[in-house]
A and B are shown apart, each in its own frame.
Chain A
Amino acid sequence: MSLLKFLKKIEPDKKSSPFLHTLFDGFFTFAYAPDTVTKGGVHIKDGMDLKRLMVHVVLVLQLCYAFGSLNIGHQHFAALGMYPDFLDAFHLKITYGLIQLIPIFVVAHLVGLGIEFWYAAKKGHAIEEGFLVSGALIPLIMPPDVPLIWLALAVAFAVIIGKEAFGGTGMNIFNVALLSRAFIFFAYPTEMAGDTMISGKEVWVSGLEFDAAQLAEGVKQQVSYYHWWSHGVFDNLFSAFGWRTFGEGGVAVADSFTGATPLGLAKTGGWAAVAEVYTPTQMWWGGLPGSIGESCKPFIIVGAAALVAMKVASWRVMVGMIIGCALTGMLMNGFTAGYEDPSLSYLQIPWYYHFYMGSFFFSMAFMATDPVTAASTNRGKWIYGFFIGAVGLIIRVMNPAYPEGWMLAILFMNVFAPLIDHYVLESNMTKRLKRA
């Protein structure tokens, strides 16, 4: 009780210092559920509120975070040809992953929450919890080695233009996390989707740079590097225990390293090219280069199932998306069956393998189901999910520029969600007016 009294005493005044008041209020309501009682309507209210809803999504994402950190480390060492087994040198990999991930997480939250706090203070209302989920999703869809300044700009763009310009939480048209990824993709296209040899920066596998000495001679050779202030400190700790350490860096990448993701391989050579490098089991369980959170399908599916069981996410959008993707895949297979043309090889990939590659499950579970940007009627959700599945697969397979289609498909259907709802409601209204 005395803590409560102390906090109430130091509360900054709303009029004289609005920003400090908003900041205080944000942290205070985080620690204490408010004491307001119902007035003028129902007398008891459900125990669920927006904070609780958001925190459950963040909790479910922790599985992806855990796997993602380990995967960052694993991809780094796999590129160098070291520690090929996934759980080999576990301490090195998880430490490496967290050293990469935590700054991304912190920057995304600082920038995003800072902007939200500033807007809340300016408008005079409480800080709305909408950013908690976006802030948890953004690190998971970023490449592991994304420069923090790009990330900060992307988050600022997404929050200001994508959310605050429309009125804040609950008013946005576009999915905020996807907008940040879209910004980075369009602002830095060569680094994100292009050839590393041309762009000069590898973002999808972390900790690799071009060796300066060899670059001066015109040879592009990627080697590892470490920082003394992060990796060096842990090296001291690890050697004290007698464990393996990171080392000095400068190790050249293995000859077999291509950095190619399954989608990149499928584009050039169809399933045959993919199967040469990766097995379906490997693609299913993760352990591939890619965005931080998207690779381990079982963890995502467990998370999605948990969200559906808790009635936090809509199963209609998820099932609709699976059906849309499957039907479009089957259609593509059907049209190209029997042809031997190598340019059709991408279309001929069996439709069920499309679920193994890329970030289908992550987009389905966490991006498409965002209640604010999805269709709001139950019937509309089926249509919305179906078209995301269909359009996303078309972009992935038939579009020469982008390897993965879900981000664009979801943003596209976000625009159409109000239209879908409009027609569902129109049919309800005409049915009612015809009843007379």
Chain B
Amino acid sequence: MVSDNLLKIEAKEIGADKTGTNYSIFPRFNELFGASAPNYVDGPVTFLKKGHDILLEGEATKSTNDGAGVTTFAIQPTNFIGMSPIPKVIVSVGDEVKAGDSIFFDKKRPEIQYVAPVSGEVVAINRGAKRSIAEVVILADKEMSYRTFDVPNLEDCSREDLVNFLMSSGAWSFLRQRPFSLVADPIDTPRNIFVSTFDSAPLAPDLNYVIDGNEAAFQKGLEVLGKFAPVHLGLNAKGSEAPHHAFTQVEGVNKNWFHGKHPVGNVGVQIHHTAPITSNSKVWVAGVQDVITIGKLFTEGKFDASRMVAITGAEVETPQYVKTYLGASIEGLVKGNLKPLEEGKSIRFVSGDVLSGKQTSTEGYLGYYDDQVTVLEEGDQYEMFGWLLPLAPRPTISGTFPNGLYPDLKFQANTNTHGEKRAFVVTGQYESVLPMDIYPQHLMKAIITNDFERMEGLGLLELAEEDVALCEFACTSKQPLQSILKQGLDAMRDQ
């Protein structure tokens, strides 16, 4: 027993137990009773117990629609946090653009160009409130034509050349920094770059299906990222099958395996358990499909913003994937695929998942960083004694519903709030669905009272809105947690 402990202490001293190997003779408690890692895992796994998977109807089947129904595409400046409301738009209505041509830039950061995802004609520059630019709409050509680039050689180009190339080609917009989820600042040196290879949100697309056929571009994209900082991939250790070989056999990156319920797929949670964000370091994140686009810039020399978008939700006739481009119109994506509407019923379109997506409509466009559309029923009906005897099953984390008896039941969720907004009453609820060492309720109170030191101390900089989305779902008092967090992040950013 004593020698066993001495061995463990020595292992800790020399740092050999960082990989999680058990140097003791005795098995650890969690190895005996906890979930064990599947055999395809080739490294230590972080097991996360907190969280909740919401099972909804309308999961996309592994079939792809060729996207012929999508004709218009748009870039929306409001998708970029920190962008000034009126960016400088350098095209006008009627101009012909190629995929990769600059469309607009932020006057505060003029080097970072935002480019057209498709080739075609600019048909509209829609404005929102106070003359802000809402979206720049392009009517796509049948055949894409691409802008030609002078692609630098990755092996021997300088960091400055690489940064300038990425900024002018429009690929820089895919790199976001944490905290604050702003488009990355080129003068920063991030500590790490994180890419999450699986999305655990409700009805999220299966990235293993998406990456099929794009392995080379993904590897190249990771090499590009590797020039700036060590790259970490977050891998799913919970599936019954191994993740796609494009994720597991990639070289030159650190692989971190995670096993848990949503929000384990959120890159913020993965950062927290690998190398938490501190007040004086920055971290960059990118999505899988964004990395593929960056890679294609170097392998094929063109800005290929193609996306596999999952059309999901209970109101979709055949939930499936659509092969299209960034910024596709919602109308085109769901064309001919919606269930017929009954009398008095209305539906909601969400760009993204039901927890952190943005509400949109058939006149809207897919968000810049989104790869999913969810269509669900609006719950704008009164329900008699709905809080006491719910007539329809609904997703919940509470034990007062018999949901525990049906663990695989998929719900037809609607948008009813199921209660009115109240003061914070229940405690421990947010902590049970956020697998991070953060006290969310006290953080929210610190944000509401504008206490900056407390906000930072309690971990505001480690969170993005998608991380507290599940907490907002679970909140008994129906508090708007994501908007409180956004308020806090905005206030902190202005500091």
Real binding pair: yes
Chain A residues packing against B (C-beta within 8 Å)? 4, 29, 31-53, 55-56, 126, 128-130, 167-171, 309-312, 314, 371-372, 374-378, 381, 421, 424-425, 428-433, 435-436
Within 8 Å CB of A168, what residues of B? 423
In the complex, whether B27 has a CB less than 8 A from a CB of chain A is no
Whole-angstrom distance between the Cβ of B128 and the nearest chain A Cβ? 16
> Total A-B residue pairs with C-beta atoms closer than 8 Å?
212
CA distance A51 to B417 in the complex (A): 13
Whole-angstrom distance between the Cβ of B287 and the nearest chain A Cβ? 20
CB-nearest residue of chain A relative to B481?
A41
Within 8 Å CB of B478, what residues of A? 45, 49
Within 8 Å CB of B357, what residues of A? 43
In the complex, whether B459 has a CB less than 8 A from a CB of chain A is yes
Best-buried of A44, A51, A425 by chain B (most CB within 10 Å): A44
Whole-angstrom distance between the Cβ of B388 and the nearest chain A Cβ? 6
With contacts A47-B394, A371-B427 taken as known, whether A309 is within 8 angstroms of B483 at the C-beta atoms is no
**A43, B350: Cβ atoms closer than 8 Å:** yes
Best-buried of A46, A50, A128 by chain B (most CB within 10 Å): A46
With contacts A169-B422, A371-B426 taken as known, whether A436 is within 8 angstroms of B281 at the C-beta atoms is yes
**B385, A42: Cβ atoms closer than 8 Å:** no
CA distance A376 to B386 in the complex (A): 29
CA distance A283 to B477 in the complex (A): 40
**A29, B395: Cβ atoms closer than 8 Å:** no
A-contacting residues, B407-461, CB 8 Å: 413-420, 422-428, 431, 437-439, 441-442, 454, 456-459
Best-buried of B54, B388, B395, B456 by chain A (most CB within 10 Å): B388
A-contacting residues, B6-24, CB 8 Å: none
CA distance A377 to B422 in the complex (A): 20
In the complex, whether B397 has a CB less than 8 A from a CB of chain A is yes
With contacts A32-B382, A425-B458 taken as known, whether A46 is within 8 angstroms of B418 at the C-beta atoms is yes
**A45, B382: Cβ atoms closer than 8 Å:** no
With contacts A32-B386, A49-B478 taken as known, whether A371 is within 8 angstroms of B425 at the C-beta atoms is yes
Within 8 Å CB of A429, what residues of B? 454, 457-458
**A428, B439: Cβ atoms closer than 8 Å:** yes
By DSSP majority rule, is chain B's interface helix, strand, loop, or mixed? loop
* Other-chain residue from B379, B390, B397 in contact with A37 (beta carbon distance below 8 A): B379
The 0/1 profile, CB within 8 Å of A marked 1, for residues 467-488 of chain B is 0010011111110111100000
In the complex, whether B383 has a CB less than 8 A from a CB of chain A is yes
Best-buried of B401, B415, B419 by chain A (most CB within 10 Å): B419
Q: List 22 A-B contacts (CB under 8 A).
A: A33-B383, A33-B418, A35-B380, A37-B380, A38-B415, A38-B416, A40-B482, A41-B469, A43-B374, A44-B54, A44-B473, A45-B473, A46-B394, A46-B474, A48-B400, A53-B426, A126-B420, A128-B423, A167-B423, A377-B427, A424-B439, A425-B458
Whole-angstrom distance between the Cβ of A252 and the nearest chain B Cβ? 48
Within 8 Å CB of A424, what residues of B? 439
Within 8 Å CB of B378, what residues of A? 37
Whole-angstrom distance between the Cβ of A275 and the nearest chain B Cβ? 40
**B457, A36: Cβ atoms closer than 8 Å:** no
**A310, B420: Cβ atoms closer than 8 Å:** no
CA distance A375 to B428 in the complex (A): 10
CA distance A432 to B357 in the complex (A): 30
Whole-angstrom distance between the Cβ of B79 and the nearest chain A Cβ? 16
CA distance A48 to B91 in the complex (A): 50
Whole-angstrom distance between the Cβ of B54 and the nearest chain A Cβ? 8
In the complex, whether B39 has a CB less than 8 A from a CB of chain A is no
In the complex, whether B33 has a CB less than 8 A from a CB of chain A is no
In the complex, whether B63 has a CB less than 8 A from a CB of chain A is no
Within 8 Å CB of A56, what residues of B? 400
Whole-angstrom distance between the Cβ of A171 and the nearest chain B Cβ? 6
**B439, A36: Cβ atoms closer than 8 Å:** no
Within 8 Å CB of A53, what residues of B? 400, 425-426, 476
The 0/1 profile, CB within 8 Å of A marked 1, for residues 182-220 of chain B is 000000000000000000000000000000000000000
Within 8 Å CB of B459, what residues of A? 428, 432
Within 8 Å CB of B54, what residues of A? 44
With contacts A37-B416, A46-B398, A46-B418 taken as known, whether A32 is within 8 angstroms of B384 at the C-beta atoms is yes
In the complex, whether B361 has a CB less than 8 A from a CB of chain A is no
Taking residues whose C-beta sits less than 8 angstroms from the other chain, chain B's interface range is: 35 or more
Best-buried of B276, B382, B387, B401 by chain A (most CB within 10 Å): B387
Chain B residues packing against A (C-beta within 8 Å)? 54, 276, 278-281, 348, 350, 354-357, 359, 374, 376, 378-388, 390, 394-401, 413-420, 422-428, 431, 437-439, 441-442, 454, 456-459, 469, 472-478, 480-483
* Other-chain residue from B281, B386, B457 in contact with A432 (beta carbon distance below 8 A): B457
**A52, B384: Cβ atoms closer than 8 Å:** no
* Other-chain residue from B276, B418, B423, B454 in contact with A171 (beta carbon distance below 8 A): B423
**B376, A43: Cβ atoms closer than 8 Å:** yes
* Other-chain residue from A43, A46, A51, A171 in contact with B397 (beta carbon distance below 8 A): A46
**A312, B399: Cβ atoms closer than 8 Å:** yes
CA distance A376 to B427 in the complex (A): 5
CB-nearest residue of chain A relative to B52?
A46
Whole-angstrom distance between the Cβ of A321 and the nearest chain B Cβ? 16
Top 7 closest pairs, chain A to chain B, by CB: A49-B419, A33-B386, A170-B423, A429-B457, A47-B394, A376-B427, A48-B398
CB-nearest residue of chain B relative to A169?
B423
With contacts A34-B420, A46-B397 taken as known, whether A428 is within 8 angstroms of B380 at the C-beta atoms is no
Within 8 Å CB of A378, what residues of B? 428, 431
**B426, A33: Cβ atoms closer than 8 Å:** no
With contacts A37-B380, A53-B476, A432-B459 taken as known, whether A44 is within 8 angstroms of B426 at the C-beta atoms is no
CB-nearest residue of chain A relative to B429?
A311
**B382, A35: Cβ atoms closer than 8 Å:** yes
**B279, A433: Cβ atoms closer than 8 Å:** yes
Within 8 Å CB of B426, what residues of A? 53, 371
With contacts A428-B458, A429-B458 taken as known, whether A42 is within 8 angstroms of B473 at the C-beta atoms is yes
**B415, A44: Cβ atoms closer than 8 Å:** yes
Whole-angstrom distance between the Cβ of B374 and the nearest chain A Cβ? 8
* Other-chain residue from B281, B385, B415, B474 in contact with A33 (beta carbon distance below 8 A): B385
Within 8 Å CB of B472, what residues of A? 41-42, 45
Within 8 Å CB of A55, what residues of B? 387-388
**A43, B359: Cβ atoms closer than 8 Å:** yes
With contacts A372-B425, A436-B280 taken as known, whether A50 is within 8 angstroms of B384 at the C-beta atoms is no
Within 8 Å CB of B376, what residues of A? 43-44
CB-nearest residue of chain B relative to A40?
B483
